[in-house]
Amino acid sequence: MGDRAKKAALFEQFAKVGKAMGHGKRLELIDLLAQGERSVESLAAAAGLGLSTASAHLQALKQAGLVATRRDGARIFYALAGPDVAALYSLVRSVARSRVADVEQKRADYLGLTGNDAHSTAGQPAEMTREDLLAQVGAGTVTVLDVRPAEEYRAAHIPGALSIPLEELSSRLGELPPDREIVAYCRGAYCVLAYEAVDFLHSTGRSALRLNDGMLEWRLSGLPVDTGLAA
């Protein structure tokens, strides 16, 4: 039958992971760290948290073994402890979307979607799959646009992608070839940056789609990535 106390102790260890992830802001920090290593200050700013609050959430994640740290002088940098953490986070989102009634509506509200997709235009599809993007990149028929912050692009990006953070897009529009389809991507399937980029590009008369997910899913699929600045 086994020792019930020992079994309970084992399951309490499992529960540490669930407890650490059982907070929306901690999941948001994991989402940011799925893009690459970041300082505490950068994470706090990106998540809209005070520095002490962000540090407390990160410590909870570290105690559960979900994140790792390194020190560079006086600064502390955090990273996911491994790709299994990113995969777990992705699975949590997937289960929530399938099982929690309000998730789809909250997603639509956040991304600004109505009906099938308010961001589609003239009956044309608004998004492109990873498989189609790979084929189009191989044929040289599209420009891949990364609209995440520059530090996330440096950490990992789709090979050949052009980095123009969303807030710089209007001032750097001339860097995009005017005669090619643009495919924008950001952090993942729940990231609004690519939606906003495509809306802006459409308003300027450019032909643009978004990748139907993002860097999180790209990396979990084992597809190639580049790091650092573009050559």
Mapped onto helix, strand or coil, the DSSP state of residue 170 is: coil
State residue 168 phi and psi, 5-degree precision: -105, 0
State residue 31 phi and psi, 5-degree precision: -60, -45
Residue with tokens 């999180």, as numbered in its chain: 216
Instruction: Say how far apart CA 113 and CA 195 lie, in whole Å.
Output: 10
Kind of pairing between the strands at 162-163 and 181-186: unpaired
Q: Would you say the C-alpha torsion 30, 32, 33, 35 has a positive or negative sign? A: positive
Instruction: Say how far apart CA 170 and CA 152 lie, in whole Å.
Output: 20
Phi-psi region of 50 (alpha: psi -120 to 50; beta: other; left: phi over 0): beta
Instruction: Say how far apart CA 137 and CA 13 lie, in whole Å.
Output: 45
Query: Which position among 60, 156, 186, 197 bears the catalytic label?
Result: 186
Token pair, residue 122, equals 């003239």
- Annotation marks residue 186 as catalytic: yes
Active site residues: 186
